[in-house]
Structure 1
Amino acid sequence: MTSDSEQQSIVSTASPTTSPVDCNSQVRLKSEGDRILLILPPTAEMTDTVTWSDLWESFKHRLNGGSRFWQPQSPVHLMGGDQLLDGLKLQAIADGLGEVELQLVRIYTSRRQTAVAAVTAGYSVEQQSLTYSLSQTPAEPVQILADPLYLQMTVRSGVEIRHPGTIVILGDLNPGGAVIATGDILVWGTLRGVAHAGAQGNRACRIMALKMEATQLRIADAVARSPETPPTQFYPEVAYVTPEGIRIARASDFSKTHLLLNS
C-alpha cells in the first residue's frame, strides 16, 4: 500500500508474446498537494519498439486496475516534456483521466506544436524548455528564452498561457484569461484579461494591443489596473515602464518618440 505522496508507476501487463514496456519509458503519476502530476517520459528514453499506443494503453490499464491514491475530481497537470501531442492525443488523455474522476487542467511542454494544440483545446499552458524528472516540480524557474509563441485564437476565461519568450495572439484576450510572457506580449485584437510581460524581471518589455481594456497589466514588478471610467475612443496602444510606473501611449506616438529616442 502506497502513501499519497509516493509516486505511482505503470505496471506492464504484456502478454508472453509482447515485449514489456521499459520502466524508463513509462508514464508516471505523482501526488503533489491537491494536484496530480502526470509525467510523460522524454522521447529519448522511449525505445524504438514502444509506440504512443503501447504507452497509453498500459497507462489506462494502470489507471483502471490499480489502487486510487487521489481524491475524485483532482486537477491533473500534464508534464509533457518533448512529447509531440496533437489535439487527438490530448483528448485521449483527458478522456482516460475522466474515466477515473481526474480532470486535466494544465499542460507543461517544450514543444510549440503541443502548446498550440493545448491552448486551442482550452487548457492552461506553460511552454518550457526544461524536461522534468520525478523530483522536479513546475515551480522551478526556467531561464531559457524561447522563440516567440504565435497563437491564432481567442484566449477564453479560465485559460492561462505561460511562455519563456514573446507571445503574439491574433485574436482577443477575454476577461478571466491570463497571458504571462518572459518577453513582450502583442494582442492583435482586444485585451480584456490579465497580461504580464517581462515576467522574469525585464522592465524593458512591452504590452501592445489594438484595443487595450485590460483587467490588469504587469511588466516585470510594475502593476497597472484599468481605469474606472473607460475611454470613449480606442487606438492601438503600447504599455511600457517608466520610473513612475506603467504608462500607456498610442502606438503611433510611441513609435515616433520612444523608439526613436532609444535607437
Structure 2
Amino acid sequence: MSANSQMVTIKGTRDGLTLQLNDQCSYDSILQELEEKLSVNGIDDNQPMIRVTIQLGNRFLTNEQQETLRKIVREKQKLVVDQIESNVITKDEALSWKENTEITPMTKTIRSGQVIEVKGDLLLLGDINPGGKAVASGNIFILGHLRGIAHAGSQGNEEAVIAASYMKPNQLRIADQISRAPDQDSDGLYIECGFVDKQNEAIRIAPLQDVLKQKPDLVSFERRMLNG
C-alpha cells in the first residue's frame, strides 16, 4: 500500500458522516488513524447528534472488533454509529440468506387445522381451505384457492407478498400487519395479490400486475425459478 494512501476517509453526507476504512491495511493501523482523525477538531456542544456510517469494504470484523470501532466513535462528543457496512458476510449468514431465498414447491390441499411453515418462498399448487394456514418467511404464491390463513414475511419482512389464483382468505398477515377477513357475502377475487401499502401502513389487495409495478424486485422470484 502506498504511504500516501489514506486508511480512513471521512465524508460528510446529508445524513451525517461516512467513514470509509481502507481494507488493504491492518486493523490496528485503522484504529490508530481513526482516533487521530476524530481528535483533530472539537465538536461544539450546541451541534445536534451526528450519525456515522462505517464502510468496511472487503473486510470482515468480529462483533468485538466492531464494538471497539463504535467505542472510539462514541468517545467523540455528538457522534454515534448508525450502521457498519461490509461486503463480506459469515458462512452462517450466507447459509441463512440462501435458506430464506429458496423456493419450496408443494402440491397439496391445506385443510382446516393444518399448518404448513417454510423458510423462503412458498409455491403452493393447491388450495388453503378455511381453518388451514400457510406461513413463509418470504412470499407466498398459491395456484389455487386461498380461503384460510396466509402469513408471509413471518420473520419481519414487510416487502413480502401473498398472491393467489382465487383469494377469499380468513386472514392475511405480512410481517406484523394483519388484514381483516372480507365480508361473508362478498365475492372472492381472482389473480389478486396482498401486500403492505407503505402509505397507509396496512395490507392491501390489488391485481398482481399493479403490485409488480410497485415491487419490481419480485422478478427475482422468476429468476430463481429458472435457475432452480
TM-score by length of 2: 0.48
Greater radius of gyration (CA): 2
When you count strand as a share of all residues, which structure comes out higher?
2
TM-score by length of 1: 0.42
